[in-house]
Chain A
Amino acid sequence: MTGRIARRFAALKTAGRGGLVTFVTAGDPDFDTSRAIVENLPEAGADIVELGMPFSDPMADGPAIQAANLRALKSGASLARTLELAALFRARDADTPLVLMGYYNPIYAMGTERFVARARDAGVDGLIVVDLPPEEDEELRVPARKSGIDIVRLATPTSDDARLSTILASASGFVYYVAVAGITGTKSAGRDSIAAAVARIRKRTALPLAVGFGIRTPAQAAEAANLADAAVVGTALVAEIAACVEAGKSGEAAEAVLSAVRKLSAAVRAGKG
Chain B
Amino acid sequence: MTQINTFRAGPDERGHFGIYGGRYVAETLMPLVLDVERAYAAAKADPAFDTEMARYLTHYVGRPSPLYFAERLTAKFGGAKLYFKRDELNHTGSHKINNCLGQILLAKRMGKKRIIAETGAGQHGVATATVCALFDLPCVVYMGAKDIARQAPNVFRMKMLGAEVRPVTSGSQSLKDALNDAMRDWVANVESTFYIIGTVAGPHPYPAMVRDFQSIIGREVREQMHAAEGRLPDTLVACVGGGSNAMGLFHPFLDDPGVTMVAVEAAGLGLDSGKHAATITGGRPGVLHGNRTYLLQNADGQIEEAHSISAGLDYPGVGPEHAWLNDMGRVQYVSVTDDEALEAFQLCSRAEGIIPALEPAHALAHVAKLAPKLPHDHILVMNMCGRGDKDVFAVADKLGVKL
Give the interface of A toward B (CB within 8 A). 54-60, 62-63, 66, 70, 73, 78-80, 103-110, 130-133, 135-136, 153-160, 163, 167, 178, 181-183, 186-187
Contacts and interface: CB of A to CB of B under 8 A. Distances in A.
B123 to A, nearest CB: 23
B176 interface: yes
Contacts of B29: 158
B297 interface: yes
Interface in B288-328: 288-290, 292, 295, 297, 299-304
A181 B177 CA distance: 20
A25 B170 CA distance: 18
Interface of B: 14, 22-32, 170-171, 176-177, 180, 183-184, 187-188, 190-191, 285-290, 292, 295, 297, 299-304
A57 B31 contact: no
A84 B272 CA distance: 33
Given A57-B171, A57-B180, A80 B28 contact: no
Given A104-B287, A160-B31, A79 B300 contact: yes
A43 B343 CA distance: 65
22 contacts: A58-B180, A59-B184, A63-B170, A105-B287, A105-B295, A105-B297, A105-B301, A105-B303, A109-B300, A110-B300, A131-B25, A131-B26, A131-B287, A133-B27, A136-B22, A154-B28, A156-B28, A157-B28, A159-B31, A163-B31, A182-B28, A182-B184
A104 B286 CA distance: 9
A182 B192 CA distance: 13
B322 to A, nearest CB: 18
Contacts of A187: 188
Nearest to A82: B300
User: Of residues A78, A153, A155, A156, which shows the largest number of chain B Cβ atoms within 10 Å of its Cβ?
Assistant: A156
Contacts of A55: 301-302
Contacts of A154: 26-28
B175 to A, nearest CB: 12
Given A183-B184, A183-B187, A153 B27 contact: yes
Given A60-B187, A183-B184, A183-B188, A106 B300 contact: yes
8 tightest Cβ-Cβ pairs between the two chains A and B: A109-B301, A106-B301, A182-B188, A56-B302, A156-B28, A78-B300, A154-B27, A105-B301
B302 A133 contact: no
Given A131-B26, A163-B30, A108 B180 contact: no
Given A57-B176, A109-B297, A178-B27, A158 B190 contact: yes
Contacts of A108: 285-287, 292, 301
Contact of A105 (B25, B180, B191, B286): B286
A55 B22 CA distance: 20
Contacts of A135: 14, 22-23
Nearest to B170: A66
A154 to B, nearest CB: 4
Contacts of A57: 171, 176-177, 180, 288-289, 303
Contact of B302 (A60, A106, A153, A159): A106
Given A60-B187, A66-B170, A181-B188, A133 B288 contact: no
A158 B28 contact: yes
Q: In the complex, which of the residues B32, B177, B290, B300 has the most CB atoms of chain A within 10 Å of its own CB atom?
A: B300
Contacts of B26: 59-60, 130-131, 154, 156
B183 A178 contact: no
Contact of A159 (B23, B25, B27): B27
Contacts of A178: 27-28
A109 B31 CA distance: 27
Contacts of B187: 60, 181-183
A161 B304 CA distance: 39
A178 B190 CA distance: 14
A62 B26 CA distance: 14
Contacts of A181: 28, 187-188, 190-191
Contacts of A155: 27
A79 B301 contact: yes
Given A59-B183, A80-B300, A158-B28, 14 more contacts: A56-B304, A59-B26, A73-B302, A105-B297, A105-B301, A109-B301, A153-B27, A154-B26, A156-B27, A158-B30, A158-B31, A158-B190, A160-B31, A167-B27
